[in-house]
């Protein structure tokens, strides 16, 4: 109980001022599962408990994996769960497939302008390296992110040879206080090396797009799973290079995992919310299961969407 009390004190003391924004930003590359629901109950629960606003964003930058049926199901699931965003509710995405300000695939001009801005503050260079090239060049343990060795940094790759661009990360450490995990420090130049911002398929990368979007949408608090904790330092550095004066606050929550310790994922075809719905589950039952598995309840019990704030007060 003391640990939970300390965690809630850190949460309350570290939250931005009233009127702050957070976001729920799923990728329409598969069906929503209980892992997404854990993230959603943190996002809506904390926002509703402490005066925040929820922005809905569709992170569909990876067009090789995006499918219209996944996007339609995602929006339908949110409606069924009763999770209503304060900015850009689900009907706005159905009505505006072209040009919606919170759909990443529509923001090419925004990202291109951000890249031009970035080029005035850091060295940006063309890169021919594939993931396979990097994995072969840098010995690393399974499951450990290989550090980009800077192969193309001084290779003078002609810009017309590839769409891919990397940003040179200067040696620097970034300290931030996670609202669940406490003070942390990361050194991106040691951890990941120069960051890829556009890939060889002319797609903007997650690391770059979310930084630009969070600045554009005025996101003050980023709530996400621990699997993305390692991204924080490099996103803080990119934000600083892009001119963000006040960085967002972060909260990384626990992940739902299998018995072998691996996280729930779309790639493993973990049970989707739509399948649980079809089997007769109610939204309250699913919230209860997600809250218990995330350590917010001791045992699963029905939890109405209106009760999510009580998990964090």
Alpha-carbon distances of 88 from 19, 27, 200, 209, rounded to whole Å = 16, 16, 31, 18
pLDDT at 1: 41
Other residues' Cβ atoms within 10 Å of the Cβ of residue 134: 19
**Under CATH, what is the fold of the domain 2-105+177-185+206-311?**
Rossmann fold (3.40.50)
pLDDT at 257: 63
Q: Give the chain's residues under pLDDT 50.
A: 1-3, 266, 268-269
pLDDT at 256: 80
92-143, pLDDT tens digit by residue? 999 987 789 999 999 999 999 999 999 999 999 999 999 899 988 887 777 7
pLDDT at 208: 98
């Amino acid at each position: 109980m003391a640990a939970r009390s300390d965690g809630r004190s850190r949460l309350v003391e570290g939250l931005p001022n009233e009127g702050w924004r957070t976001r729920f930003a799923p990728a329409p590359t598969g069906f929503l599962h209980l892992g997404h629901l854990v993230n959603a109950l943190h996002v809506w629960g904390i926002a509703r408990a402490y005066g925040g606003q929820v922005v809905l964003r569709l992170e569909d930058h990876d067009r090789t994996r995006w499918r219209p049926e996944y996007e339609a199901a995602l929006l339908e699931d949110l409606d069924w769960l009763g999770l209503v965003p304060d900015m850009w509710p689900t009907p706005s995405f159905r009505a505006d497939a072209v040009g919606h300000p919170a759909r990443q695939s529509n923001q090419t001009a925004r990202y291109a302008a951000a890249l031009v801005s970035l080029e005035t503050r850091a060295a940006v260079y063309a890169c021919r390296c594939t993931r396979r090239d990097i994995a072969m060049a840098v010995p690393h343990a399974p499951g450990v992110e290989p550090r980009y060795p800077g192969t193309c940094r001084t290779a003078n790759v002609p810009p017309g040879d590839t769409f891919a661009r990397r940003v040179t990360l200067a040696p620097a450490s970034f300290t931030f206080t996670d609202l669940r995990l406490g003070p942390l420090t990361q050194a991106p130049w040691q951890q990941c090396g120069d960051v890829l911002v556009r890939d060889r398929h002319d797609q903007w990368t997650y690391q770059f797009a979310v930084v630009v979007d969070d600045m554009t949408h005025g996101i003050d608090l980023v709530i996400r799973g621990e699997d993305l904790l390692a991204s924080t330092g490099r996103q803080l550095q990119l934000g600083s290079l892009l001119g963000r004066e006040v960085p967002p606050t972060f909260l990384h929550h626990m992940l739902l995992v299998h018995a072998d310790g691996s996280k729930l994922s779309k790639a493993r075809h973990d049970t989707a919310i739509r399948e649980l719905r079809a089997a007769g589950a109610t939204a309250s039952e699913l919230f209860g299961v997600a809250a218990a598995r995330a350590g917010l309840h001791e045992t699963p019990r029905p939890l109405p969407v209106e009760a999510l704030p009580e998990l964090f007060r």
